[in-house]
Amino acid sequence: MQQHDKTDRDRDRDRDGEGERLAAARDYTRRGWRVTPLMPGGKAPTLAGWQRRWLGEDELARHFAGEANVGLLLGEPSGGLVDVDCDAAEAVAAAPFLLPATGRVSGRASNPHSHYWYTIEGALPVTAKFADPGARGTATETPAHGRAGGMLVELRSTGCQTLAPPSRHPSGERVRWEQDGEPGRVSAEALHTAVARVAAGALLARHWPGAGALDEATLALAGLLLRGGLAAEEADHFAQIVARVAGDEEWRQRGKAQGTARRLAEGGQVAAGARLAELLAGDGRRVVAQVAAWLDLSPGPSPSERGGVTPAEWTGQDPAAPLPATAGGGWG
């Protein structure tokens, strides 16, 4: 009898969810965000050619009257709406400090604040995926923080769709809006730069060394970033976030770039990428090479001077702000 009662409650809940999904599909469509029906409890689109099948409001009841989940078409079909999908726990933790501000964020109970939504001003970005290079390598050491391999974060644009509230995730959890305001407006270049920093920060935090090497790793990271063109303020902000996401209780003390910048200006020698690679857990050389590529580290002007974003523009949040509560990464 108890099992029967539970099934009845589940059925009532699912019927309510069906009405909510249709209402949500109508709301999104009226906002100019195109929707597509997905498999019940899943993420796979059910319409052939869904990328170019833009449903009108009069068609929604036919496609969302049942238990279909709601997918939001990204990029061109939805007026430049894009999704930054934080797959890894380290990316979820770093994103609030490194992404531009936005009023639209989604997630689910076990992985809140894992999708950040933006409207692109100007030319749209292409979809970009940032993965731990350990997924393609044969590193024999286990990173001190997190697991090697796997997707870290994605910038999802035209040709993609994202599971939207109030759909049911394959885990059984309901997808929800953590913030339901307006998506932040940002250029494609600035957002790509910010997402690349989230990826680089997450990757470093995952492979950050343990106690005994933290100060030396921070100095080497400062050398790598300064030699690559970041300003001291940018380097310190980034290094402190890496340390904090990695679980370093003394992360506030990991701002070493000012002193390193002085030594470089005086012509002194400083530790940089080679030493950092030796200190990181796992395949440090591969990690440093990937970080340098994502951050576009090269002699000359900093990324912010080449049209990217400054620390104040990342989110306006101080590194001392609380980290988001999350039980781990995964598809939102």
DSSP letter assigned to residue 75: B
DSSP letter assigned to residue 173: P
Strand pairing partners for 168? 174
Q: Is the pLDDT of residue 211 over 90?
A: no
What are the φ/ψ torsions at residue 152 (nearest 5 degrees)? -100, -55
What are the φ/ψ torsions at residue 288 (nearest 5 degrees)? -60, -40
Lowest mean pLDDT among 131-140, 177-186, 196-205, 307-316: 307-316
- One domain for residues 81 and 145: yes
Q: Is the pLDDT of residue 26 over 90?
A: yes
Q: Which of 170, 172, 81 is nearest to 118 (CA)?
A: 81
Q: Could you tell me the residue range of the domain that residue 92 belongs to?
A: 2-188
Count of structural domains, the chain:
2
Asked whether the bond before 166 is cis by omega within 30 degrees of 0, the reply is yes
- One domain for residues 218 and 85: no
- One domain for residues 175 and 203: no
Residue 327 lies in a domain: no
Q: Is the pLDDT of residue 97 over 80?
A: yes
Domain ends where: 188, 223, 243?
188
pLDDT of residue 299: 52
Res. 212 pLDDT band, cuts 50 70 90? confident
- One domain for residues 102 and 238: no
Distances (CA, A) of 242 to 165, 236, 318: 31, 10, 13
Domain ends where: 165, 188, 211?
188
Residue 328 lies in a domain: no
At 140, list the tokens.
Answer: 């024999």
- One domain for residues 303 and 253: yes
Q: What does pLDDT average to over the chain?
A: 84
- One domain for residues 223 and 129: no
At 237, list the tokens.
Answer: 């902000």
The contacts of residue 273 (CB under 8 Å, 6+ apart) are: 220, 223, 224, 227, 288, 292
Q: Is the pLDDT of residue 13 over 80?
A: no
- How many Cα atoms sit within 13 Å of 277 on the Cβ side? 14
Q: Is the pLDDT of residue 288 over 70?
A: yes
The contacts of residue 132 (CB under 8 Å, 6+ apart) are: 88, 148, 149, 150, 151, 152, 203, 206
Amino acid making up residue 48: A
- One domain for residues 174 and 213: no
- One domain for residues 244 and 167: no
Residue 141 lies in a domain: yes
- One domain for residues 8 and 140: yes
Residue 112 lies in a domain: yes
Three-class SS state of 111: strand
Res. 16 pLDDT band, cuts 50 70 90? very low
Residue 332 lies in a domain: no
- How many Cα atoms sit within 13 Å of 42 on the Cβ side? 6
At 75, list the tokens.
Answer: 């990029």
Average pLDDT over residues 9-18: 47
Q: What is the pLDDT of residues 38-93, one digit of tens each?
A: 999 999 999 999 999 999 999 999 999 889 999 999 999 999 999 999 999 999 99
Res. 298 pLDDT band, cuts 50 70 90? confident
- Asked if 225 and 256 touch (Cβ cutoff 8 Å), the reply is no
- Asked if 84 and 154 touch (Cβ cutoff 8 Å), the reply is yes
Residue 215 lies in a domain: yes
- Asked if 292 and 273 touch (Cβ cutoff 8 Å), the reply is yes
Owner of token pair 């305001």: 181
pTM listed for this prediction: 0.83
Residue 99 lies in a domain: yes
- One domain for residues 65 and 179: yes
- One domain for residues 12 and 149: yes
Residue 125 lies in a domain: yes
- For the chain, first and last CA: distance in Å? 35
What are the φ/ψ torsions at residue 155 (nearest 5 degrees)? -105, 110
Q: What is the pLDDT of residues 112-130, one digit of tens each?
A: 999 999 999 999 999 999 9
Domain ends where: 188, 222, 246?
188
- One domain for residues 224 and 261: yes
Strand pairing partners for 86? 153
Q: Is the pLDDT of residue 291 over 50?
A: yes
The contacts of residue 32 (CB under 8 Å, 6+ apart) are: 78, 79
What are the φ/ψ torsions at residue 321 (nearest 5 degrees)? -65, 155
CA distance 43 to 66: 15
